[in-house]
Structure 1
Amino acid sequence: LSLLAGQYSIIPPDSPVLGVVGDGAVLPCQLQGRIIPEKLSIQWIFSGSSTESAVATFDGKNPQNPFLEFAGYRGRTEFFPSEFHWGNLSLLLKNVRPSDKGKYTCSVFLDNWYNEVVVELDVAAQGAEPSVFLDGHAGNGISLSCRSQGWFPAPSVVWLDSQGQTRPEEVTTRSTPGPSSGIFDVVSSMSLEPGSDREVSCRVVNEVLNTTRESRVRIADFFFPSPSPSTWM
């Protein structure tokens, strides 16, 4: 056991893995050693905020049926068996979902040796280009809303003026997750008063991906309510 302990080690990942919803993500597990045995065993376990579950296993001592996927991951995982002899015991997780966010433990078993490494998976989704809507009149001004779908995690929304500066108006933003997907739709609202900068930009920001989507509109005078006769007197 002591001899094997010096012969093998697992290289820990440098940083969390970022998975984009709908795409694949490789969870790295690199075994270092001069000779990698064919009859090794690999087990991947997921630990989320409130759950722990088996993901996939490889059993080198069962050549007839070495691969096993568990509920919630069937059809979504893939090892790289042609690279096992190089120590690449990584797992490809396909069709990433928001619920996949968490920590994954890669456990490696040899005849007289065992070790494990933890890989953190962060998950993000880039939503659609936002649309700006005129919702109606609000006092002497108009009410605007900005809507976009398909974000994870919940994005932030910034309203900008013609100079690209943050607008001074009060803003209300609400993000709502889908009941099954966990993907967020976002709605942000503000009121535009007469005499203010008529060029309005709505920018939606995914801080995990460090990406944005933006729409810009210019509000014409005729959208504002006409002054009532009493204001002319």
Structure 2
Amino acid sequence: MAWVKWRWIQLIGCMILLVQSEENYIYNATVTVQVGDNIMLACSTSATYQEKDLRVFWQREQSQGRSSSDVVLTFKQGIITEMNQKDSFRGRVEVFPNELTRGNFSLLLKSVRPADVGQYETIIVPEKNSNRPRCRTQLNVGAPFSKPRVTVEVCTESTWPSEIRCETWGGFPEPLIHWIVGTQAIDSDQVKTNSSTTNGSISVTSILHLWSQEEIPVTCIVENPILRTNESSTQTIHHCEDPAVNLYGLLVLVPILLIQPILVYLFCFSKKKSACRSTQEQAEESTTAPPGGQGSQDNANVTIHLLE
């Protein structure tokens, strides 16, 4: 029974600590910024502080891909120091020393990069005050993608079906690619998409294979999930026969091509035989008819005899 009570006391204590920890966050927000812009990570309180007693730490929290927190900037006893500061933040972060004792701990991050994505935390540590207020900001970074370039490789006898490529570049983070054929959305499992990253910017190529029995518009849409922007391009796909249809045509055409010479031969043979028969009949007629000269002489003799 005593053990159960002790477990309940521990649970209640943890809940109190959790509530106190959350209450210590005087600012908790999510902000989105485009690559190259400046962003103010806000943090302020109504309290005032003595400069010699004040310590403030700005850091980026540990996340996937990072084994520890990154030091962004440190203020200690009136001095801003870059000790242990992550190299990528050097010369790109700024605070306002005259505002710190007034409770303004905001941090200016300049020329934002894709690698700056993460959760930033400001920890205020007054020497003579047990209360340590904190500010937390989730920084999301995005860069717009180029207008997609859609190209079509028209199908031929050796390339079935048509291959449609959608290419875009220069953006961040990796986009969502949507295809629409006519008015019908294409499932992502019917599309092959590859991406590569250079200096933080992403290039994407998406390939769709399509059989089309008629002219039909095909649209590629590039969606940036952070900036919530879309870019699109449309191309019209022309008629492309299904290989099954072409195969059926070949099955019909091949027998015709094979039979045609035989039919031509039979036709010619028949014509030749008919011509030979006609020639033979003419020859027979010429041999049975009386000679033209003898017949004329007999007729002449008969005529003379009658006159006499």
Q: Does 1:174 align with 2:194?
A: yes
| 3-state SS in 2 of match to 1:107 | strand
Partners of 2:123 and 2:39 in 1: CA distance: 18
Q: CA deviation at 1:207?
A: 1.6
In structure 2, the residue matched to 1:94 is 110
Aligned residue runs from structure 1 range 29-40, under 5 A: 29-33=43-47, 35-39=48-52, 40=54
Q: Between Structure 1 and Structure 2, which shows a larger proportion of strand residues?
A: 1
The amino acid across from 1:174 in the alignment is N
In structure 2, the residue matched to 1:12 is 27
CA contact (8 A) 1:11 1:32 kept: no
Aligned residue runs from structure 1 range 83-232, under 5 A: 83-84=99-100, 86-113=102-129, 114-135=132-153, 137=155, 139-163=159-183, 165-167=184-186, 170-178=190-198, 181-196=199-214, 198-221=216-239, 230=250
- 1:66-103: CA deviation from partner (whole Å, max 9, x where unpaired): 35372221121111345445522111111222222222
**Mean Cα displacement is larger for which, 129-138 or 87-96?**
129-138
- Structure with more relative contact order (C-alpha pairs < 8 Å, separation 6 or more): 1
CA contact (8 A) 1:161 1:197 kept: no
The amino acid across from 1:18 in the alignment is T
Paired-residue identity, %? 29
CA contact (8 A) 1:176 1:186 kept: yes
**With structure 1 as the length reference, what TM-score do the two structures score?**
0.77
**With structure 2 as the length reference, what TM-score do the two structures score?**
0.60
Which blocks of at least 5 consecutive residues in structure 2 are unaligned?
A: 1-23, 254-308
| 3-state SS in 2 of match to 1:95 | coil
The amino acid across from 2:50 in the alignment is P
Choose which of 81, 94, 102 in structure 2 pairs with 1:78. Answer: 94
The alignment of Structure 1 onto Structure 2 pairs a total of residues equal to: 215
- 1:182-208: CA deviation from partner (whole Å, max 9, x where unpaired): 332111101121315521110011122
The amino acid across from 1:29 in the alignment is C
| 3-state SS in 1 of match to 2:133 | strand
In structure 2, the residue matched to 1:5 is none
The amino acid across from 1:166 in the alignment is A
| 3-state SS in 1 of match to 2:45 | strand
Partners of 1:231 and 1:24 in 2: CA distance: 68
Q: 1:168 to 1:73 in 2, by over 3 A?
A: closer
Which blocks of at least 5 consecutive residues in structure 1 are unaligned?
A: 1-8
In structure 1, the residue matched to 2:72 is 55
- 1:125-153: CA deviation from partner (whole Å, max 9, x where unpaired): 22111101224537443101101112322
- 1:12-60: CA deviation from partner (whole Å, max 9, x where unpaired): 22x3222322222222211221x34344332111223223221112345
Partners of 2:122 and 2:180 in 1: CA distance: 46
Q: 1:141 to 1:11 in 2, by over 3 A?
A: same
Q: 1:194 to 1:85 in 2, by over 3 A?
A: same
In structure 2, the residue matched to 1:6 is none
CA contact (8 A) 2:35 2:142 kept: yes
Partners of 1:182 and 1:209 in 2: CA distance: 16
CA contact (8 A) 2:33 2:141 kept: yes
| 3-state SS in 2 of match to 1:137 | coil
Partners of 1:205 and 1:186 in 2: CA distance: 12
